[in-house]
Structure 1
């Protein structure tokens, strides 16, 4: 996951706009039956476990885990998928033409994390990539997750102008349709500049890294109300987030590697 202003952890059809900010939401599905998705509770204890699953701390009601992990029993579970970039070293899992390339034919990478950008620049490629990511989303449904968090929505900003915000939004619409058809809510990850388009893009709630640190939390709440989950990675960021939003939003501070509890470097703090 990368924040537009800084570097943080990188691990690793019907489109609807969510009108409700809490509770259940009815969405159109490709079949004749409507699917129902449940949004995460607002201002709830949250833990970000994409670096490895562990027993959630007392008071946690919402947890995000990687799509390869199992959900936490009895909690609201969000499933992390790296949707716009390939995992480090996983270029071979993608058809060669689905990796974004520069004018010399070389793969374009997110240099901070060594991840190849996926080429969402044409409708045909978006459809193919969405089919592959959609299989991961289906897996989230099958495991019992309630929502999906597709990461690197903002990867177009690291593409050297080869991809656009419109490309990213066209792709996220495919993912939101797949998630809703699976009965899963879908989060907007970072990318505050596109938050105002959340209804058209079919996005139900927001997961925002360092919006306290960079004074962006209001960009998310203006679009998503209080259904915003905040992850900070510094003491100063947590302090700012808690001062401004601690009474309304779900806020947690984690170490930048999102280490499992008990491991070296593990940090978890709340307001």
Structure 2
């Protein structure tokens, strides 16, 4: 029991690594996840529009993208983007590993966000589109002004859930060998564990992830409940009529 506690809950090791986790690691984890979900939202809306297109030539590339990046394990995508692209001479971010890390997670996020937006747009009654078209709006304008905003509102809880997934998947970018100042939570903890052969740093990193994901999970559940039930307005009794 003593060896178990010393391996996983060594207070000295936790206190040694915690400041770096809370400053550098937490900052970069949130940065990667935030940029990934921002890209995912923009690209996801565009992909969803293509998936819903009546033209087969527009649907097929979007469907291929979504199927590929949803089907591949995240660790394979991170390796292909972060290690494969620079090896092939494609270096849009130069030697900055953090840029490739964001791109890899963002490509995955865009594929899942596309399916989220597609489902949200399809949940909007077709009558909304027909009504907009009857007022003389072109198809794209009707989708942009009337249908898409309603669809986005319907999938806000799912998008928040995708942000939680992006936070957890950011741990995979340790494969890219991030430099000082760019390391995320898992990379810092894994380096410490490799140097000390003690897993307490990984436990500390796990606690940091839980501090991020558990409140967000409850917030997503609350948002989902509010979206489904709507805000309840108190019912007040009508004033009694005066008797003459």
Q: Same fold (TM over 0.5)?
A: no
RCO higher in 1 or 2 (8 Å CA, sep ≥ 6)? 2
Q: TM-score under structure 1 normalisation? A: 0.25
Between structures 1 and 2, the one with greater strand share: 1
Between structures 1 and 2, the one with greater helix share: 2
Q: TM-score under structure 2 normalisation? A: 0.27
